[in-house]
Amino acid sequence: MLNTVALDQLLLLDIETTPLTADFNHLPDDMQRLWLEKNTKTAPESENGEEAFAEKAGLYAEFGRIVCISAGFFYTEGGHYQLRIKSFAGENEQEVLVAFLELVQKFFTKFPRFQFAGHNIREFDIPYLCRRALINGLNLPAPMQVHNFKPWESPMLDTLQIWRFGEFRNYTSLKLLAAVLGIPTPKDDIDGSMVGRVFWEERNLPRIVEYCQKDVLTVAQLLLKFKGLPLLGKEEVSFV
């Protein structure tokens, strides 16, 4: 599989998001009303909209923010693939986004067959990044101006879409896909539902970064598995 995909042309990515504020009451009044309106349309009647903010708001770019972006790229050394992972994280979302967008532009300029790669990036990570960039007043580099691309031209290699094989009813998590394909993954310290609490209450950003980097590494292993290549060993992964 993926015979036409050049691994060294890919920018692997994963993002971690949290609610926009520490709790619902810290939102401006108009945003509180808009959140309750949105939540009413998508949640069961029994759900408390204010309580749901902490759990769900990070899923929506209008009510959430990005606290970490991890990016990985393949290179070869001694005839074997290596992976380098770099993370952008911090409390200032605009600074995080600016640094990442500069990396995207650099990769796009350098690699003629550039593509983003990740799990569910087509439906979550890339749209979220684009929306938060615009909210922060930033310009999108060419490969993130997705409205300009025809569906088959979009520079995104999504492992969820690959695994779907054209079937769109099923969602397979990254953790489940790695498990069924026999890809060993480090035991997670947290999961996505805990990121908001770890950020706002524990103020433990390094813990979030480590979790985000694990997902990038797992995506890299999936791509190697799809191509029938050996998986990466610990000594073949470095962090910048």
- CA distance to 17, 100, 116, 168, 205, per residue, from 165 (Å): 28, 30, 19, 8, 36
- The Cα–Cα gap between 90 and 75 comes to 27
Question: What is the assigned CATH class of domain 7-20+63-239?
Answer: alpha beta
Domain spans of the chain? 7-20+63-239
Which pLDDT score is estimated for 45? 65
Which residues, 6 or more positions from 96, have their beta carbon under 8 angstroms from its beta carbon?
66, 67, 68, 69, 88, 89, 90
Give pLDDT < 70 ranges for the chain: 44-46, 187
Which pLDDT score is estimated for 123? 95
**pTM for the full predicted model:** 0.94
Helix axes 93-110, 126-135, angle to 10 degrees: 120
Which pLDDT score is estimated for 46? 56
- Residue 27, Cβ neighbours under 10 Å: how many? 20
Which pLDDT score is estimated for 141? 94
Which pLDDT score is estimated for 28? 96
